Amino acid sequence: MNAKLQSLEASLRATETALAKVTPSTMSTGSSFIRWGRKSCPENTALVYVGVAGGKHHYQKGSGTNPLCLSRTPQFDYYGTLYGAEYDWIPGHHDHDVPCSVCLAPQSTTIMVPATHTCPLGWTSQYTGHLVAQWKNHYATEYVCLDGSPEDDSSGVGNDNGILFYYVMTVCGSLPCPPYINDKVVTCVVCSK
């Protein structure tokens, strides 16, 4: 029995070592995700590129609603307006620009699960954090999962506005309380399988 267990442990270590060497060029399949607020990817995933978050200005009605992880080497050929993103009321990061990383996981599916920091059974956690979006009085954006240990982008700090990342807070009423609690920051997790 011990020999079988040792063999399984050796196989697991070999798999972990192989996954640690994963790069976009060595993966033939997988799924991508954006790690908002960080300049790197989690272990056992491959970095596709490091970017800077951007999108529409928070007071614009038109344009897209989703934040973008923009290339640091832009090439231009279109009309429209595009602004950077900054943290708003994120402790220790207020008005700082937001970095992002596009990552490639070896698993075929990646999802973001709001209101928890635990992946469903059988899924691998890529990172945990807090749900962010525009402020309730601004025009809507998509919810994204900001890494729980966000970094500031070196591109700058200032109250320039653009797309703004605010923590999403719970509001009891049609949201069932319990199990939810009023006025709490919503957690999130990015999971792959």
Tens of pLDDT along 86-104?
A: 888 888 887 888 999 999 9
Rounded Cα distance between 86 and 166, Å, is 9
- Provide φ and ψ at 29, rounded to 5°: -145, 170
Q: DSSP string of 104-149?
A: EESSS-EEEEET-SSPPTTPEEEEEEEEEE--TTSPP---EEEESS
Res. 178: pLDDT tops 90: yes
Per the DSSP assignment, residues forming a β-bridge with 128 are 189
CA angle, 124 then 128 then 131, to 5°: 130
Rounded Cα distance between 136 and 161, Å, is 15
Residue 13: per-residue pLDDT: 53
Which amino acid belongs to residue 144?
V
End-to-end alpha-carbon separation of the chain, Å?
A: 30
Residue 12: per-residue pLDDT: 43
Residue 120: per-residue pLDDT: 96
Reference 127, options 150, 94, 98; nearest CA is 150
- Provide φ and ψ at 110, rounded to 5°: -130, 135
Per 3-state DSSP, the chain is made up of helix, strand and coil in percentages (nearest 5) of: 10, 35, 55
Phi-psi region of 95 (alpha: psi -120 to 50; beta: other; left: phi over 0): left
Q: Where are the chain's structural domains?
A: 30-192
87 vs 131, higher pLDDT: 131
